[in-house]
C-alpha cells in the first residue's frame, strides 16, 4: 500500500472514532469570510484527496487534504490522526494566488 493511501486510511479510521477541533481550527473556520462548518470538514475527510503529507511534523504525523464542502467550494483541511481521534489542526479556503489551478500544488514563489 502506498504511503499516501496508508495515511488517508489512518485519517479516516481516526475520524470514525472522533474529531477534535483544535482552537486554531475553530478560529479559522469561524472567520466571516470562510464560515466552514463541521459538516464541511467531515465531507472533506470522508471524500477528499491527500495532497501533502508531513510525517515529521512537530505535532505528530499530519497531512493536508483537499476536498469540497457544501456548494462544492474547495476546502483544505490539515489534520493529524491519533489513536482515539482525528485532530483537526486547521481548515481554510485555498487561495488561488498561492495554489496551482487544481489547488493540489503550491505555486513556486
pLDDT by 10s per residue, the chain, length 109:
577 789 999 999 999 999 999 999 999 999 999 999 999 999 999 999 999 999 998 878 999 999 999 888 999 999 999 999 999 999 999 999 999 979 999 998 6
How far is the C-alpha of 47 from the C-alpha of 43, rounded, in Å? 6
Tell whether pTM > 0.85.
yes
pLDDT on residue 1: 55
Count the neighbouring beta carbons within 10 Å of the beta carbon of residue 64: 20
pLDDT on residue 72: 86
The three-state secondary structure class of 33 is coil
pLDDT on residue 21: 98
Residue where the block lists cell 474529531: 19
Residue 78 main-chain phi, psi, to 5 deg = -100, 125
DSSP one-letter code for 1: -
Q: How far is CA 73 from CA 38, 54, 83, in A?
A: 14, 24, 30
Amino acid at each position: 500500500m502506498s504511503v499516501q493511501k496508508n495515511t488517508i486510511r489512518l485519517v479516516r479510521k481516526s475520524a470514525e472514532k472522533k474529531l477534535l477541533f483544535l482552537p486554531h481550527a475553530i478560529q479559522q473556520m469561524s472567520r466571516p469570510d470562510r464560515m466552514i462548518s463541521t459538516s464541511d470538514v467531515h465531507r472533506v475527510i470522508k471524500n477528499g484527496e491527500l495532497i501533502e503529507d508531513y510525517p515529521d511534523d512537530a505535532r505528530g504525523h499530519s497531512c493536508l487534504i483537499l476536498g469540497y464542502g457544501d456548494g462544492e467550494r474547495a476546502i483544505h483541511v490539515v489534520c493529524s490522526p491519533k489513536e482515539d481521534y482525528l485532530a483537526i489542526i486547521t481548515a481554510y479556503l485555498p487561495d488561488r494566488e498561492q495554489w496551482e489551478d487544481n489547488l493540489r500544488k503550491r505555486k513556486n514563489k
